[in-house]
Copies of this chain bind each other. A is one copy, B any other.
């Protein structure tokens, strides 16, 4: 990377270019799901594995909180835990279980992670270890995939409602809330990163962090695609569509 720092707006442009090229809205499994090309068992496998990732997210945010020294930043970041784990109202994780319930997955299996692909665990754990081990500016920047979440959520919800008779509007309640939470969180994190990452070295960390996080999301869809689109590739011990009790 050049040793001359980018302007904050040029940094934002580079971040948005990474999202355009590497975010999982371009992944073939997302395209199949959006276009109605998947069966119920494949959607179940997606929801089961994605729940495992969702369950890691609040632990990821707690790890970031544990590294922040500024009380104001901690107060702002704390909202993510409230959103995922709930307060008076149910949180994002509980709403995700409405989706897995609606698909007919056993809630005990989902929460225990039975049948989750090992590759999903490895990717989600890589995210958790990343925010524990990398500099704080990189840990914060790894959340910036949320900049690109609204478009993929809108496509996913519209496609699922149009194509899959076993999916009902209320089953997708998780995504309604994320459509407002994700931009709020992403705007905050982006402003913070643009303000804090002033040296070329810090900016390189930020760009690498967003690429890394795109790799995490992409690898999870790769694993689903490999296991559940072509027949015969479900790894030992993982969920088998049609074999669920």
Chain A contacts to B: CB under 8 angstroms: 21-22, 28, 117-119, 121-123, 125-126, 129, 211-212, 214-216, 218-219, 222-223, 225-227, 230, 232-233, 235-237
Contact = CB atoms under 8 A, between A and B. Distances in A.
Given A22-B237, A215-B236, A225-B233, 13 more contacts: A22-B236, A118-B218, A119-B119, A119-B222, A121-B126, A122-B125, A122-B216, A125-B129, A214-B236, A219-B223, A222-B223, A222-B227, A223-B226
A214 B118 CA distance: 10
A236 B212 CA distance: 11
A219 B235 contact: yes
Contacts of A223: 119, 219, 222-223, 226
A218 B122 CA distance: 12
A80 B222 CA distance: 34
Q: How many copies does the complex hold?
A: 2
A199 to B, nearest CB: 23
A31 to B, nearest CB: 12
Given A125-B126, A222-B226, A230-B230, A215 B118 contact: yes
9 contacts: A118-B123, A119-B223, A122-B125, A125-B129, A129-B129, A218-B236, A222-B226, A226-B226, A226-B233
A15 to B, nearest CB: 15
B118 A219 contact: yes
A237 to B, nearest CB: 7
Contacts of A218: 118, 235-236
B219 A122 contact: yes
A71 to B, nearest CB: 30
A222 B133 CA distance: 27
Contacts of A211: 237
Contacts of A233: 28, 222, 225-226
Contacts of A216: 118, 122
B119 A219 contact: yes
Nearest to A238: B215
A146 B225 CA distance: 30
Contacts of A129: 125, 129
A112 B216 CA distance: 20
